[in-house]
Amino acid sequence: MASRYWVGGTAAWDITAGTKWATTSGGAGGAAAPTSADDVFLDGSSGSGTVTTSLFSTCKSLTTTGFTGTLAGSSAVQCSGSVTLDAGMTWSNTGGVSFNGVVGGTITTNGIDVRTISSFTATGTWALGDALSLSEGLAWISGSFATANFNVTAKYFNFQNATNVSLGSSTITATGIDGSNQAWSISSSVTLAAGTSTIKFTDSTASDKYFVGAGLTYNNLWFAPGAGTGGLVVSGANTFNDFKDDGSAAHTIQFPATLTQTVSSFTVNGSAGNLISMRSSSSGSQFTLSKSSGSVSRSYLDIKDSAATGGATWTAGVGSVNSGNNTGWIFPSFAGPPFNPLSAFAHLIVR
């Protein structure tokens, strides 16, 4: 293992050594190009030029403290250790950072958007050193990932294979969807420690957002589309502390037919003229909502093909609609606005 300091100004970070790398900060160039065993530094002595990545941009760790230049290119920086970025640098690279290796490290971005973070061959463990914000996705397919209680914002999240994911007390915000309309996708082989986290969807477009839950246990899921009309599509027989939807426009939540969503709290409310429709993935086949005790009372819902079970009392309150094939729900006997005797009396006086 060795240290490599960038002294090449504006040039490509590739396999060619040239005079771009030094063994000390600001030292003489001519050192070999870094490998996955070398710590790479872009610092105050590296100048303010543009470093363009290539398929050979590999390192053990990457530190850019003091660097005021730009990291560009379309190839991911491949790291087997920690990444520490300086808030004063510019990141225009579209390839993001891809982690690999057996040890892992810490990811500290200091507010720099690296676009995407991925792990495809790693076996080590990486943890965040501060809040993370990505304009594209986080795809963690191997190794372990921990938020260390920092908040994470990305367009979408994808966790697969025998990975370990720890969410702590973080808020995990998905601002969009991937090419398959998935905002959150996880496989049942993932070991998920949900902690007291909240997974939040904020995309306000007309596109449906998919929550591929894989039958795992979560803390809070919050669908917050604002005035967006795109719905939420849930798959898997999942468990939630709180299942929440506070979208202000009419939209649909689709639950998987024949499967059960187990909740401790179900906080889904529409509004007058903007009902939230709850539907099964297969019309005529019920989905199940289960809460072990207490009561659920929600308003302005349009419910079809739903079984409400578990011991709790499920009430579809004012403005709600029974669209058929529902069991366990208590619906209002009058779906219109509540009667106001004072208004009626005032009307008679006017006449």
174: left (phi over 0), alpha (psi -120 to 50) or beta: beta
pLDDT at res. 298? 97
Give pLDDT tens digits for 89-111: 999 999 999 999 999 999 999 99
Q: 97 near 76, Cβ under 8 Å?
A: yes
pLDDT band per the 50, 70, 90 thresholds, residue 332: confident
Query: pTM of the entire structure?
Result: 0.93
d(CA 157, CA 147): 13
pLDDT band per the 50, 70, 90 thresholds, residue 342: low
Give pLDDT tens digits for 154-205: 999 999 998 999 999 999 999 999 999 999 999 999 999 999 999 999 999 9
3-state SS class at 345: helix
Task: Please identify which residue in the block is written with the tokens 């990291």.
Answer: 71
The structure tokens listed for 106 are 């810490």
Give pLDDT tens digits for 206-265: 999 999 999 999 999 999 999 999 999 999 999 999 999 999 999 999 999 999 999 999
Give pLDDT tens digits for 100-143: 999 999 999 999 999 999 999 999 999 999 999 999 999 999 99
Percent of the chain with pLDDT over 70: 95
β-sheet bridge partners, residue 69: none
pLDDT band per the 50, 70, 90 thresholds, residue 350: very low
